[in-house]
């Protein structure tokens, strides 16, 4: 990750928890996390290059481009930073909630993750508004 952070003038990370995502939805949570990341920058940006999302509450000039992570190197680097950060969080959650295998599957719907949900039910880090929990209420109650 230092390969991306070191040459950058500034970088910031934002995160929104599972309970908040269930309440406000993934789109609003995505915008909130992006706003946190901007607020966490050591330097105020002149302009935002954004992948798909628009941030109307951020008072900065900005451009939102579909598939920007494939076309703009700084957006691709930001995407990698976010993914590495999320993977690191999932490894930490693996230690807090052993048995779910978060460190291995990083929260994706791998067979081992689905089996753990069936066995233990959801933990506080599971998003109930996402499949499979949203499509089968009560099925994964452990």
pLDDT of residue 7: 75
- What is the rounded distance in angstroms from the CA atom of residue 81 to the CA atom of residue 34? 13
pLDDT of residue 86: 95
* Contact between residue 113 and residue 126 where contact means Cβ atoms under 8 Å apart: no
pLDDT tens over the chain, length 142 residues: 566 566 788 999 999 999 999 999 999 999 999 999 999 999 999 999 999 999 999 999 999 999 999 999 999 999 999 999 999 999 999 999 999 999 999 999 899 999 999 999 999 999 999 888 888 766 666 6
pTM score, whole prediction: 0.87
| CATH level 3 topology of 2-86 | Nucleotidyltransferase; domain 5 (3.30.420)
Q: What is the dihedral of CA 29, 33, 38, 41, to 10 degrees?
A: 170
56: nearest Cα among 78, 81, 28: 28
* Contact between residue 49 and residue 71 where contact means Cβ atoms under 8 Å apart: no
What are the residue ranges spanned by the domains of the chain?
2-86
pLDDT of residue 8: 81
| Residues 111-121: b if buried by 16+ CB within 10 A, e if exposed | eebeebbeeee
């Amino acid at each position: 990750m230092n390969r991306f952070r070191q040459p950058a003038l500034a970088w910031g990370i934002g995160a929104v928890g599972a309970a908040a995502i269930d309440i406000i939805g993934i789109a609003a949570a995505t915008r909130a996390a992006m706003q946190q990341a901007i607020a966490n920058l050591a330097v105020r940006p002149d302009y935002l290059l954004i992948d798909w999302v628009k941030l109307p509450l951020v008072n900065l000039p900005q451009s939102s481009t579909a598939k920007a992570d494939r076309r703009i190197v700084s957006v691709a680097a930001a995407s990698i930073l976010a993914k590495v950060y999320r993977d690191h969080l999932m490894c930490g959650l693996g230690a807090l909630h052993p048995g779910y295998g978060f460190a291995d599957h990083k929260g994706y719907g791998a067979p081992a993750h689905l089996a753990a949900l069936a066995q233990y039910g959801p933990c506080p880090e599971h998003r109930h508004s996402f499949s499979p929990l949203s499509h089968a209420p009560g099925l994964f109650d452990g």
